[in-house]
């Protein structure tokens, strides 16, 4: 049976499988600055709904061309002249895609360049690690376009930078770039060279963790953040019980006990 993550079954996304189990998933409409149309969102839903169970170890999420993603396909939206209910359903598919990313259990590292705007920032927010370069800039142009967010910015962008900074971004169209964007939490890394190179390096590293450990990190933490402190502590104990006793971990624990495992050292040693 064809796997749902088989690259040959995708059109809007270009998918490349690396030897280390890392999948490079690239938005592939560079002439439209990778604007998110219905077809692209459906492919994101399909890929990320199956990635964990089909053994994808980590994903580098990228955009072809000079810009990561220009957000909602405004031309498709304008031409479709949607009813409120129709657009609500569009938004629900966006949420399905980005929730599958954030909660799906596969580490996702976004390699960002150029515009990461509107829905493009919402997409990037569904990743667990964001790497930017010197060309990357973030904005929420919805206010200027006469529209509103619909793909989770009210949740994830305000979580990253705080509610009032997010409100300022959408009200005024403010652009963040460079080190300031990292300091605010829009990305965790900024590179002098290409963000892709750094993202691949990070993906290779996280792909070496045990899959069940990565599942917990890239699913349980987000769920726990939605719970009360009491419930999150309970859930953490349950997940810890499962993950910290997995048979595959014994070898790594034994290596530590035998003093053959690497020790944690400061960066300069």
Q: Is 7 left (phi over 0), alpha (psi -120 to 50) or beta?
A: alpha
Residues 34-53 touching ligand 1HE, rule: CB under 6 A, are 35
Query: Per DSSP, what are the bridge partners of residue 26?
Result: 14, 62
- In the window 96-125, what residues touch ligand 1HE (CB under 6 A)? 115, 117-119
Is 233 one of the binding residues for ligand 1HE (CB under 6 A)? no
Which of residues 4, 6, 32, 165 is near ligand 1HE by CB under 6 A?
32
- As given in the structure block, the two tokens for residue 85 are 């209910």
Tell me, yes or no, if 201 is annotated catalytic: no
Return the half-sphere exposure (C-beta side, CA atoms, 13 A cut-off) of residue 237: 5
251 included as an active-site residue? no
The answer to whether the CB of 70 falls within 8 A of the CB of 31 is no
Least Å from the CB of residue 41 to ligand 1HE: 9
- Closest distance to ligand 1HE from the beta carbon of 153 (Å): 8
User: Which residue of 73, 160, 186, 200 would you call a contact of ligand 1HE, by CB under 6 A?
Assistant: 73
Specify the residue, 47 or 94, whose C-beta has the smaller distance to ligand 1HE: 94
Instruction: State the burial class of residue 139 (Cβ atoms within 10 Å of its Cβ: 0-12, 13-18, 19+).
Output: buried
Assess contact for 47 and 15: CB atoms under 8 A: yes
Residues annotated catalytic, as ranges: 122, 142
Question: In the complex, which residues of this chain contact ligand 1HE (CB under 6 A)?
Answer: 31-33, 35, 67, 70-75, 91, 94, 115, 117-119, 141-142, 145, 147, 149-151
């Amino acid at each position: 049976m064809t796997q749902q993550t088989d690259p040959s079954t995708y059109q809007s996304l270009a998918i490349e499988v690396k030897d280390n189990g890392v999948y490079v998933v690239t938005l592939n409409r560079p002439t439209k600055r990778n604007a998110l149309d219905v077809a692209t969102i459906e492919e994101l839903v399909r890929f990320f709904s199956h990635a964990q169970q089909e053994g994808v170890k980590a994903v580098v999420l990228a955009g072809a061309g000079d810009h990561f993603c220009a957000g909602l396909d405004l031309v498709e939206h304008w031409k479709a002249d949607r009813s409120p209910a129709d657009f609500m359903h569009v938004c629900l598919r966006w949420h399905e895609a980005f929730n599958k990313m954030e909660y799906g259990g596969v580490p996702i590292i976004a390699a960002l360049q150029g515009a990461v705007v509107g829905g493009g920032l919402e997409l990037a927010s569904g990743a667990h690690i964001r790497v930017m370069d010197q060309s990357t800039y973030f904005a929420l142009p919805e206010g200027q376009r006469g529209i509103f967010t619909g793909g989770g910015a009210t949740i994830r962008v305000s979580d990253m930078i705080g509610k009032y900074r997010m409100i300022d971004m959408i009200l005024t169209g403010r652009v963040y770039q460079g080190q300031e964007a990292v300091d605010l939490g829009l990305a965790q890394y900024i590179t002098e060279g290409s963000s892709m190179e750094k993202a691949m390096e990070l993906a290779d590293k996280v792909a070496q963790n045990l899959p069940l450990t990565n599942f917990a990190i890239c699913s349980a933490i987000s769920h726990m953040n939605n719970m009360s402190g009491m419930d999150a502590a309970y859930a953490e104990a349950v997940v810890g019980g499962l993950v910290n006793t997995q048979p595959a971990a014994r070898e790594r624990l034994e290596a530590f006990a035998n003093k053959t495992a690497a020790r944690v050292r400061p960066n300069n040693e």
